[in-house]
Structures are given as C-alpha cells and as structure tokens.
Amino acid sequence: MAMAQEGLPNLADGVIPMLSESERLPLSRFSQVAAVVCLGYATLPFLHLQLESPTLALPGFLFVLPLTSSSLAAIWVTLLVISGMDWILQEREERLALRYRLVHWPLPALVAWALSVPLGTLQVSPQWWLIFGLGSVLLFAVMAAEYVVAGQIGAGQFWAYVTLTAVSFALFLILAVTLRAAGVRLYLQWLVLVPAIVLIVLRNLYLRMVERWSWEWAAVVGVLILQISTGLHYLPLKPLSYGLILTGFAYGLTSLAGALEEGRPWRSAWLEPLIMMLLLGFLAFIFGR
C-alpha cells in the first residue's frame, strides 16, 4: 500500500532501509516486559475459578456473557502488555507525552487478548506450546514495531508499517476462524470482530495519514463488516473459508479507505483492494472444497 508520509524510504531506490540509532529497541526494558508477559501466559492453564456469568433477559431474548477465569486472566495479561508497552515507549529520546503514547496501546493489547484466549482454554500440550511460542513472537514483533513508529520519520518506519499491517489482518483472520470453529453465537462474534476491525482500521489509517484519526472510515468499515459477517454466518462455510472471505473484505475496505483519503482517483484506488479480495476469495474456495 502506498504511504502518505513524506521521508519514508522507497524500496525502488535499491537501498534496504536500516534502523537508525534512535529506532533501536531498549533491550533491557523489552526483555523484562517479555519475561513478565510470558510468565503471565504460562499461568493461564492453571487458573480455575467458579464464576457466575452475567445475563440480560429481554422479551424473546436471553443474552449470556460468558465469564470465566480464562477471560479474567486475559484481561490481566492484556493490562500487563499495555503497561509494558508504555514503559518501553518512555525510553525513547523524544520523551513522548502520554497522549502520544496512548495511540500505541490498542494493537498490542488486541494481540495480547487474542493470544490469551486459546492459551487459557486449551490443556498444556504440544499444540499449546506451539501457540505460546508463535503467539509470543507475534506479540513482541508488534510491540517492537510500535516502538519504531512512535518516533520521527525514519528508515525503520517502513518495516514497522508493513509489520503492523500484516499482523493486524493476520490477527483478524485468526479471530474470525476461531470464532467460526468454536460455534460462537452471532452477537458474541459481533462483540469481538467489530471492535477488532475498528481498532485495526484506525491504527492503519493513522499511520498512513500522518497521525490523523479517521473515525468516519473506521465506523463505516465496522458497520460493513458487521453486515458481511452476518450474511456469511448463515452460509455453509468452513471456518478457514469464512475467515479468509471476511478478512478479504476487511483488508479491501481498509485499503480503499486509505487510497481515497490520500486523494487517489477511483480508477486506481479500487485496484489493490479488488486484487486482495479476489486472491483471498480464491484461497477460501480452494480450502473450502
């Protein structure tokens, strides 16, 4: 996707961007945060509390919000990640104020929460360790990318932007597939998928639009994803096919919003979103056979 920020490196120049001194991670703080977060994840399978789930009774409807020890632990680990991300950001030379650090919290928090769900529900097994290892690498890659993009425009911001974009939509795909495979009720899927895509759109366009929030586009994409997920929910789709199709629409709409915000004409703005939607739709057809 095209970048609206001036000064970002262009790979067409034949030069691979390198991290500047100010963009390098404070390894001391980063390693301490990583150790505490990994310890928090390691305790999830051993937390077993008897909790009563809150319910809301309406005429013709009964809404149940599942409340388990795993969900409380997920909130706890997410708060650990947020506080750790903020502590790492305070190490930057720019001495960012709180309002500038706040924008770097949501995506790591979303990744941390999404990772804590399977780690808190699965039994300790080779599959659990695989999710723990790969998920931790994914989370710390996001935190490192957020640290890089927090500073002034530099070479490392190109790679950080690519990392954050790829991880964001990979996370959305994982959430969609997991919810579909678990047979979660539709309204609970809305409570997960819609806030997730709103955060992803906001963060993606914030980076692309040079630190300008696009609340209107986030709301539009959120409503459209809600409608699309509702329609797909009633189709006989396999979880992976469902997730790929929904992610295709999510990426396509976000990319289209960014292109229009950059002032690109319609003739070129729709090309990249359409290609990605068709590619993910083709993969959904292949895996759904």
| Burial of residue 238 (number of CB atoms within 10 Å: 0-12, 13-18, 19+) | middle
Q: Say what the pTM is.
A: 0.72
Three-state SS at 55: strand
| Res 2: pLDDT | 38
| Res 8: pLDDT | 42
Backbone angles phi, psi at 152, to 5 degrees: -70, 165
Beta-carbon count within 10 A of 179 CB: 23
Report CA dihedral (253, 258, 259, 261) to the nearest 10 degrees: 120
Tell which residue, 22, 31, 258, has the closest CA to residue 153.
Answer: 22
| Res 7: pLDDT | 40
Residues of the chain whose pLDDT is less than 70?
1-23, 48-69, 93-94, 151-158, 210-211
Backbone angles phi, psi at 56, to 5 degrees: -130, 115
CB 178, CB 196: distance < 8 Å: no
